């Protein structure tokens, strides 16, 4: 099978390229840049890939439609909208790691992304690929979820789906390493600013909030809103999403809900007996680890969800959707080991 990848020079694109190289069903990976770019070897564009002479070619839809089975876009918000139209028109399979097609309402998109929205028809035909809960098979345009959204929704799913919490009580304290901001230079991610520091950012304004709300309302229309806070950690990779909500359920009911929801899913691990996960357990893997704790004094459930933002929160989940679309084994290309120590 031949696949195309646009955006290999970004962090998520780099990881996706590495994962595709070890996928047993992928025979060739063709790399593409912007249509007006010049062809250059990968090692020149990304020195980390020293010795890899694979060319990054200017994007040519005709070449991809003729020679590839699917295209991945690992591009920034707004870029995919400019480039995806020929593939949408041809009903050609696309897995999009950007946020361009995650939201079905164009007004919501414009409000949160501060960019013109894609066509309504394209937004409404895209599939939100939260891999544990929505099989990508049969959907030609797959919008890969955001990293914060992935961690948060996996932590909330059993509670919201089984109506175990007060729908107006959800509070999310989410923290991410600096790679979540991408490669673009910014004062907030400068080493001297992030080192030995914690910074809140985009409080109640993060662009992943509307996609979280969009999915929560699919599970329970009564969820009116969430309180969502994001903090930048002085680390490179990893997300920890700590979720609080009021509940009338007891500890046994809560544990049972998580066990039942995730028992058959290979990439979500629910820790036993109230144990809490940490980032070291998941960085370098496609796992989401969940810890659940109930405080009877306050009738509050706390869920801690941890992922590697570049794998489970981006490239790894894209590969899950790829496997689902073509009917491959769920773990193909994703049998990864945690980085130790």
Q: Whole-angstrom Cα distance, residue 318 to residue 129?
A: 8
Q: How many CB atoms lie within 10 A of CB 283?
A: 24
Domain with CATH 3.40.50.720 in the chain: 2-125
Q: Whole-angstrom Cα distance, residue 35 to residue 117?
A: 21
**Secondary structure of the chain in the HEC alphabet?**
CEEEEECCCCHHHHHHHHHHHCCCCCCEEEEEECCCCCCEEHHHHCHHHCCCCCEEEECCHHHHHHHCCEEEECCCCCHHHHHCHHHHHCCCCEEECCCCCCCCCHHHHHHHHCCCCCCHHHHHHCEECCCCCCCCCCCCEEECCCHHHHHHHHHHHHHHHCCCECCCCCEEEEEECHHHHCCCCCHHHCHHHHCCCCEEECCCCCCCHHHHHHHHHHHCCCCCCCEEEEEECCCCCCEEEEEEEEECCCHHHHHHHHHHHHCCCCCEEECCCCCCCCHHHCCCCCCEEEEEEEECCCCEEEEEEEECCCHHHHHHHHHHHHHHHHCCCCCCCCCCCCCCC
Round to the nearest angstrom and report the end-to-end CA distance of the chain.
Answer: 36
* Closest by CA position to 232, among listed 272, 176, 287, 273: 176
The predicted pLDDT at position 192 comes to 94
> Are the beta carbons of 5 and 32 closer than 8 angstroms?
yes
Q: How many CB atoms lie within 10 A of CB 35?
A: 12
What lies within 8 Å, CB to CB, of 38 at 6+ separation is: 58
Q: Whole-angstrom Cα distance, residue 310 to residue 328?
A: 22
Q: Whole-angstrom Cα distance, residue 55 to residue 73?
A: 17
Residue 162 pairs in a beta bridge with none
Give me the average pLDDT of each 10-residue run along the chain (341 residues): 97 98 98 95 96 98 98 94 95 97 96 93 94 97 98 98 98 96 86 95 94 98 98 97 98 98 98 96 98 98 98 98 98 95 84
Query: Active site includes 68?
Result: no
pTM equals: 0.97
Q: Whole-angstrom Cα distance, residue 322 to residue 72?
A: 9
> Are the beta carbons of 94 and 140 closer than 8 angstroms?
yes
Give the burial string for 125-141 (b: 16+ CB within 10 Å, else e): ebbbbbbbbbebeebbb
Angle between helices 147-161 and 209-219 (to 10 degrees): 20
* Closest by CA position to 244, among listed 228, 220, 222: 228
Domain 148-308, second-level architecture: 2-Layer Sandwich (3.30)
> Are the beta carbons of 248 and 299 closer than 8 angstroms?
yes
CATH topology of domain 2-125: Rossmann fold (3.40.50)
**Exactly one of 59, 147, 268, 283 is catalytic; which is it?**
147
Tokens of 283: 């960085």
Considering just the CA atoms, what is the radius of gyration of the chain in Å?
A: 20
Tokens of 259: 């066990």
């Amino acid at each position: 099978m031949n696949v195309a990848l646009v955006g290999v020079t970004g962090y998520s694109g780099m990881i996706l390229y590495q994962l595709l190289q070890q996928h047993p069903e992928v025979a060739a990976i063709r790399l593409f840049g912007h249509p007006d770019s010049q062809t250059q070897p990968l090692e020149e564009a990304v020195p980390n890939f020293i010795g890899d002479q694979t060319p990054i070619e200017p994007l040519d839809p005709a070449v991809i439609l003729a020679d590839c089975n699917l295209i991945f876009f690992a591009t920034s918000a707004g870029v995919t909208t400019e480039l995806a139209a020929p593939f949408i028109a041809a009903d050609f399979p696309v897995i999009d790691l950007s946020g361009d097609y995650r939201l079905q309402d164009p007004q919501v998109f414009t409000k949160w992304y501060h960019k013109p929205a894609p066509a309504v028809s394209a937004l409404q035909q895209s599939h939100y690929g939260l891999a544990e809960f929505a099989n990508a098979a049969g959907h030609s345009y797959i919008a890969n979820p955001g990293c914060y959204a992935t961690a948060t929704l996996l932590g909330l799913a059993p509670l919201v789906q089984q109506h175990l919490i007060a729908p107006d009580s959800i509070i999310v304290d989410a923290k991410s390493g600096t790679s979540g901001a991408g490669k673009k230079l910014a004062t907030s991610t400068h080493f001297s600013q992030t080192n030995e520091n914690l910074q809140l950012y985009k409080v109640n304004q993060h662009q992943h909030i509307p996609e979280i709300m969009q999915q929560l309302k699919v599970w329970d229309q009564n969820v009116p809103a969430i309180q969502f806070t994001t903090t930048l950690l002085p680390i490179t990779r990893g997300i920890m999403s700590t979720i609080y909500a009021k509940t009338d359920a007891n500890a046994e009911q809560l544990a049972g809900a998580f066990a039942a929801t995730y028992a058959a899913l290979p990439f979500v691990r629910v820790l036993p007996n109230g144990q809490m996960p940490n980032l070291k357990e998941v960085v370098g893997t496609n796992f989401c680890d969940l810890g659940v704790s109930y405080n009877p004094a306050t009738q509050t459930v706390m869920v801690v969800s941890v992922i590697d933002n570049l794998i489970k929160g981006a490239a790894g989940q894209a590969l899950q959707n790829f496997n689902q679309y073509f009917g491959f084994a769920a773990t193909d290309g994703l049998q990864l080991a945690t980085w130790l120590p």
